[in-house]
Amino acid sequence: MTTKLYDLDSYISEFDCKVLELYRSGEDLIVVTDRTAFFPEGGGQSSDIGFLGKSFVYDVQIECEKILHKVENYEENVHNFTVGGQIHGKINMKKRFSDMQQHSGEHIFSGIVHSMFGYDNVGFHLGKELVTLDFNGKFTKDEMRKVESLVNKAIWDNLEIKTFYPSKEELETINYRSKKEINEALRLVEIPGVDVCACCAPHVKRTGEIGIVEVVNFEKFKGGTRIYILCGERALCDIRQKLDENKKIGNILSAKETETAEMVERLKENNNRLSYELSRAKLEALKLRAEKEPPSKRIIVFCDLTDGDSIREYANILSEKAQDFAAVFGGSESSYKYVLITKTSFDINSLCKKMNAELLGRGGGRNGIVQGSVCAGENEIRKFFDE
């Protein structure tokens, strides 16, 4: 059994310990010590990283109360340790503190959701970037905003976070949230008035250290909700990045940073109008061309029109000059929208069905007009009509 220094004090970043075991596992060197400040992976949180002596510890696992420090490359590192010897450990406190900010933030979040809605946290993952929380219930946008505000309020209240191992008798009197990962003596993490939860991970001492929580996104997930959050420095970086992006948009559009969406909306409307005007202009040009088209049995033309109304209008003009039908294909390369029109008793529907079947198309119609799309190039389409 390894003494868990992270359990006694989550701010211990350096420590001395005695090497108890050394062994090889694949290419790795496994180091077991009498005590450690390295938090092993567990409960949705990745392990600490850092150094034991000169060797870099890239992963830490717990097996039967024994904490295993994993060091890459057995041959190169085994000489840095002696069984029975002392070694100095140093964990990467930047990662640890960020993990603690996220994890403590998650407890406040889950505690507030539980007391407001009665939903349970049924999944938690503290990755390198985003933190995901899964709840067995649904939220509206306003509810999510409210939770986010209350979590931040609990952070600013700077509450003390207490961790303790209650006796069996005590435990019966305490109402706490519990997750499945608990496999040892039950350790509770209490944030007064906000949450009590069974948890083995290190936490910040006071909620104020979390700084801020940001709900990045939330979505439906397995009948409930998956929420993406960031706390502390990670939230600051994320918000900064988004502000910078918005500032860039503002500069490009010469718009105030609080009015970028409105400006983009206006641009989009303008773009739609221009696209429409362009397609009308193209149609006018095509109409002039259609006037010069000699009457024929079948008229088949290709153009770069993409809106259905214009294609239809063009086909309608051409159909006046076609004995059987006029077909207009608008698009490019291997994807075309089509409109086929006949002004006679020609069986346009059968032709349409056959064309859809051969050219991976879809669509149909009635009263002498069929329309749809095909996944084929101009050559293939022309070949179909030649046959």
Q: Contact positions toward Zn ion, by CB under 5 A?
A: 199, 201
Q: Which is nearer to Zn ion, 91 or 108 (CB)?
A: 108
Q: How far is the CB of 115 from Zn ion (least distance, A)?
A: 17
User: What is the rounded distance in angstroms from the CA atom of residue 5 to the CA atom of residue 36?
Assistant: 6
User: What is the rounded distance in angstroms from the CA atom of residue 232 to the CA atom of residue 244?
Assistant: 18
Q: Which is nearer to Zn ion, 161 or 318 (CB)?
A: 161
Nearest residue to Zn ion, using CB? 199
Determine how many CB atoms are found less than 10 A away from the CB of residue 67: 22
Residues contacting 225, CB < 8 A, separation 6+ = 134, 135, 137, 138, 139, 218, 219
> Under a CB-based contact definition with an 8 Å cutoff, are residues 324 and 299 in contact?
no
Residues contacting 35, CB < 8 A, separation 6+ = 2, 3, 4, 5, 15, 17, 18
Q: How far is the CB of 147 from Zn ion (least distance, A)?
A: 18
Q: Which is nearer to Zn ion, 199 or 376 (CB)?
A: 199
Q: How far is the CB of 124 from Zn ion (least distance, A)?
A: 7
Residue type, 74: Y
Residues contacting 276, CB < 8 A, separation 6+ = 307
Q: Which is nearer to Zn ion, 186 or 201 (CB)?
A: 201
User: What is the rounded distance in angstroms from the CA atom of residue 258 to the CA atom of residue 181?
Assistant: 45
Q: Which is nearer to Zn ion, 201 or 326 (CB)?
A: 201
Q: How far is the CB of 116 from Zn ion (least distance, A)?
A: 19
Q: Which is nearer to Zn ion, 71 or 199 (CB)?
A: 199
Q: How far is the CB of 234 from Zn ion (least distance, A)?
A: 17
User: What is the rounded distance in angstroms from the CA atom of residue 367 to the CA atom of residue 193?
Assistant: 72
Q: How far is the CB of 221 from Zn ion (least distance, A)?
A: 20
